[in-house]
Amino acid sequence: MIPHSRPLLDHHDHSNVLDVLESGYLVQGREVARFEERLSSFIGVRYGAAVSSGTAALHLALIALSVGEGDEVIIPSYVCSALLNAVMYVRATPVIADIDRVTLNIDAGDVKRRITKKTKAVIVPHMFGLPADLDGIMALGLPVIEDCAQSIGALYGGKRTGSFGVCSVYSFYTTKMIAAGEGGMLLSDDERFIETVRDLRDYDEKDTYAVRFNYKMTDIHAALGLSQLKKLPHFIQKRKEIADRYNDVLTEKGVATPPVPPGRDHVYFRYVLQCGDPSTLIEGMNARGIECRRPVFKPLHEYIGLKGYPVAHGVAGRAVSVPLYPSLMDNEVEHIIKSLKTLPIRD
């Protein structure tokens, strides 16, 4: 079976982790500091704070922005539930926005319609590696948290995603663009914001008491993240090459390929196509030894019983994610392409 996701690990990754193990210093030490410096430099912002997961990064971002009970945070419906969890953690009210039917990212126009006096922030994921409409979102004047869990390395107007909002958050889970096993990070040009996050991520040896968290990153995860970051340009190039081959197949079949609007750079964290009958395609690919999935298990508005999200609802009923990652072997790519050619795909 060709898995839906699989990390690409080599001897450099192994060596970096082994060096940490042999050092005997395992948690939030030199490697974590180096990872913070390297990623912030790569993205083009000044400061970084590493944490234990992408969800922890979202949680601390909201706290550092003083979001709490009585505040509203706008998030898209078509996204994983981590965003909803983070808003609920701080007892704020999640305000769900619909998505753009072309890019599958949060719809700036729908965000504008949902702004109230209680709106404290908007979280903007760059879904599947394609940057969201940052010009439209930034023009609304809200504090923007960029969720770059799926878009590390993507460009918008020549700048990296993650360099536009008041802060950006990252995940290094094993299937993400950088596979560190676990871990997350917050980046910002606001030094005070990052210092707040650094204070909140660790509860021990503090002069004053406040509710803080055990959200530290280990040096093991940081060492693996550093090794993966060095290879990220190669990873992205490989993803684009595979995506181009998938695009050719779908174009021949008359099926719409993932769009790349002018001024945006798609890094293809996921290759998402839309078809008339996702279950049939998923079952057909699985029968050929290829694991495909729905890219979002369930839209957030459905989890909390809301109506009136026609685009997210429609996309959820049509979208399929096909395996695309740097560790795919040439023969695996050929098998996926052959299967896509032979199976019926109705757009």
Domain boundary at 181, 207, 227, which?
227
Q: Which residues pair with 255 in a beta bridge?
A: none
pLDDT at 236: 98
Q: Do 48 and 186 share a domain, yes or no? A: yes
Q: Do 203 and 255 share a domain, yes or no? A: no
Is residue 329 in a domain? yes
Q: Do 182 and 95 share a domain, yes or no? A: yes
Is residue 5 in a domain? no
Is residue 237 in a domain? yes
Residue ranges of the chain whose pLDDT lies below 50: none
Domain boundary at 209, 227, 245, which?
227
Q: Do 316 and 302 share a domain, yes or no? A: yes
Q: Do 245 and 135 share a domain, yes or no? A: no
Q: Do 60 and 118 share a domain, yes or no? A: yes
- We report the CATH number of the domain holding residue 131 as 3.40.640.10
Is residue 1 in a domain? no
Is residue 347 in a domain? no
- We report the CATH number of the domain holding residue 316 as 3.90.1150.10
Number of domains making up the chain: 2
Q: Do 192 and 45 share a domain, yes or no? A: yes
pLDDT in tens, 137-182: 999 999 999 999 999 999 999 999 999 999 999 999 999 999 999 9
pLDDT at 25: 87
Q: Do 16 and 162 share a domain, yes or no? A: yes
> Which residue range(s) make up the domain with 291?
232-342
Is residue 269 in a domain? yes
Q: Do 170 and 222 share a domain, yes or no? A: yes
Domain boundary at 227, 259, 284, which?
227
pLDDT at 344: 86
Q: Do 127 and 154 share a domain, yes or no? A: yes
Is residue 54 in a domain? yes
Q: Do 221 and 287 share a domain, yes or no? A: no
Q: Do 261 and 182 share a domain, yes or no? A: no
